[in-house]
Amino acid sequence: MIRILPGLSIPDEELSFTASRSGGPGGQHVNKVNSRVTLTFDVKASTSLSNEQKRRLMNRLAKRISSLGILRVVARASRSQLLNRDAAEERFAELLRAALAPPKLRIKTSLPASKRRSRVEKKRHHSEIKRERVYRPGSDE
């Protein structure tokens, strides 16, 4: 069971792990050992998530979830399958925590009066500069 948030845990029955050969350097060890671990989780079929949580996950992790609603997490940093499995579980939990976190509400703040005055003064100054550029026939210039 993977604990995500207080009151929310994902049972092991909803997770599926597969091991395969990891690519990259490593010589003979990499070529003969299935150390890469892929964790798959069916978001749509999950019984431990509410409909609101499923919707939030589908929206926030849209690029990571397939069209069938499957979330995949791959770990292959270690030469040990067990360490890679633990890393995949931890990354999965972090992804879900971040996606299920409520959005921070923006607190509307007002502009200080001094900033408003300085902005208006800059505008007035700029318009005076432009007004002075206008060519007027019969003037001294």
Output the pLDDT for position 103: 84
Output the pLDDT for position 9: 82
Q: Work out the number of other CB atoms within 10 angstroms of the CB of residue 15.
A: 19
In this structure, which long-range contacts are made by residues 115-118, counting pairs with CB atoms below 8 Å and at least 24 apart in sequence? none
pLDDT tens by residue, 14-33: 888 988 887 766 667 666 77
Output the pLDDT for position 122: 96
Cα–Cα distance, 12 to 73 (Å, whole number):
15
List the structure tokens of 115: 């900033």
Give me the sheet containing 70-75, strands edge to edge: 15-20, 36-42, 70-75
Beta bridge partners of 74: 38
Rg (CA), the chain: 29
Distance of CA 92 to the CA centre of its chain: 13
Output the pLDDT for position 81: 87
Output the pLDDT for position 74: 92
CA nearest neighbour of 111 among 103, 124, 120, 102 = 120
List of the chain residues with pLDDT < 70? 24-27, 29-31, 139-141
Output the pLDDT for position 86: 92
Angle, helices 51-60/81-100, rounded to nearest 10 degrees = 100
Output the pLDDT for position 6: 84
pTM over 0.85: no
Coil, helix or strand for 42?
A: strand
